[in-house]
Amino acid sequence: MTTHLPIEDLFAWEVLDSRGNPTVACAARVNGVEAQAAVPSGASTGTHEAKELRDGDERYGGRGVRRAVAHVNERFGPAVVGLDARDQADVDATLVEVDGDRRFAFLGANGALAVSLAVALAAAAADGVPPYRHFAAGAEPLLPMPMINIVSGGAHAGSAVDVQDFLAIPVGATSFAEAVEWVWRVRRGTADVLRGRGHDVDLVADEGGLAARLPSNRDALSALCDGIARAGLAAGDEVAIAIDVAANQLWDGTTYRLATENRSLGADELVEELVEWCDAFPIISIEDAAADDDAKGWALAGEALSSRVQLLGDDLFVTDVERLQAGIRDGIANSVLVKPNQSGTLSSTRDVVRLAHTSGYATVLSARSGETEDSWLADLACGWRTGQIKVGSLTRSERTAKWNRLLRIEHDLGGPGTAPFAGAAALVRRA
* Order of all β-strands in the sheet with 7-16: 7-16, 22-30, 33-38
Helix (H, G, I), strand (E, B) or coil at 316: coil
**Closest among 245, 290, 246 to 268, alpha carbons compared:** 290
Helix (H, G, I), strand (E, B) or coil at 415: coil
In angstroms, the CA 110 to CA 140 distance is 30
For residue 286, what are the β-bridge partners? 243, 311
User: Euclidean distance between the first and final Cα of the chain, in Å?
Assistant: 48
In angstroms, the CA 351 to CA 405 distance is 24
In angstroms, the CA 273 to CA 267 distance is 10
Q: Which residues contact 4 (CB under 8 A, 6 or more apart)?
A: 84
Catalytic residue among 49, 51, 52, 207: 207
Catalytic residue among 51, 287, 339, 371: 339
Q: Which residues contact 305 (CB under 8 A, 6 or more apart)?
A: 271, 274, 275, 278, 286, 289, 311
Given a contact cutoff of 8 angstroms between Cβ atoms, the answer to whether 365 and 377 are in contact is yes
Q: Which residues contact 155 (CB under 8 A, 6 or more apart)?
A: 43, 44, 164, 246, 249, 369
207 is known as an active-site residue = yes
Helix (H, G, I), strand (E, B) or coil at 321: helix
402 is known as an active-site residue = no
Given a contact cutoff of 8 angstroms between Cβ atoms, the answer to whether 336 and 365 are in contact is no
Instruction: Kindly list the catalytic residues.
Output: 207, 339
